[in-house]
Amino acid sequence: MATLLRTVIGLPGPSGFGSASTAEQVTAGVDASRHTVIITGGSSGLGAETARVMALRGAHVIIGARNMDAAKVVKQNVHRTLRLPELINNAGVMYCPFQLSEDGIEMQFATNHLGHFLLTNLLLERMKSTAETTGIEGRIMNLSSIAHIGPYLEGIKFDKLNDENAYNDIFAYGQSKLANILHSNELARRLKEEGANITANSIHPGLIRTNLMRHSVAFITMLRAFTSVLWKSIPQGAATSCYVALHPNMKGVTGKYFADCNEEKPSSLARDEALAKKLWDFSEKLVS
């Protein structure tokens, strides 16, 4: 209840920032000139604002793409020319009709989770070496959503992931957002176990009207009518990503879930370590 009240009135949380804070405000005074940041989905909406503010703070920004070939090109370019301390997995789709990716994977799961799982793994060794040689902490962020609380009953439909008869667009979106948190948590555990100087966290940016919602105009319009006080502008929506990526207070913080620039407690499924490990193994098999 306290968190909801903070969100409604924009009251700052323990970090000193809240739902009313903008991406520029939470990064004021931060020098990111030694940072190279890859942002997926950075050509519009939250990704574009995140990219703009990162560049404003001096970072070298690369806009990533979804498909595997483009991801490999990004990896090659980064490997040849740039050091990589930051990866923001921002791209996504929402409530789309049932469809399969080119690799035969349900589209919301493929786009929101699996593509980012693959890209992260492709870039991870480069991030580790950069963190080791420069002493700059690497940070990986997965954009999740409060929608992670509403997946399928079992959380992840491992056995019926691509079954059109079992598909529900809203539950499938919740499943993919749950996967984002589970991925971050398991990645954080593995990196910590290795002693790598890299953190991994997940983020709920808030309710923001962007082209992500193009498949659900009627539902979103109705939702907004009942929750208007909770909606943010795009600069406010990008604040948590920028805060987690650049703020000094985030040093060493890993395996956490953030909303309104403050740590929050995700659902019990999102905190299930066994489920996170199962998803990791499942995802590895799919991308192999």
The catalytic residues are: 167
* DSSP run (H or E) holding 61: strand 60-64
DSSP result, 88-117: EE-----SPPS-B-TTS-BHHHIIIIIHHH
Q: Which residue has the tokens 């009240």?
A: 5
Q: CA dist 216 to 40, 179, 190, 212, 213, Å?
A: 22, 21, 37, 9, 5
Instruction: Classify residue 44 by its DSSP letter.
Output: S
What's the N-to-C CA distance of the chain in angstroms? 43
Residue 66 three-state SS: coil
Strands 257-259 and 262-264 turn out to be antiparallel
The alpha helices in the chain, defined as continuous H runs, are 2-9, 23-26, 45-56, 68-81, 107-109, 115-134, 169-194, 217-227, 234-237, 239-246, 273-287
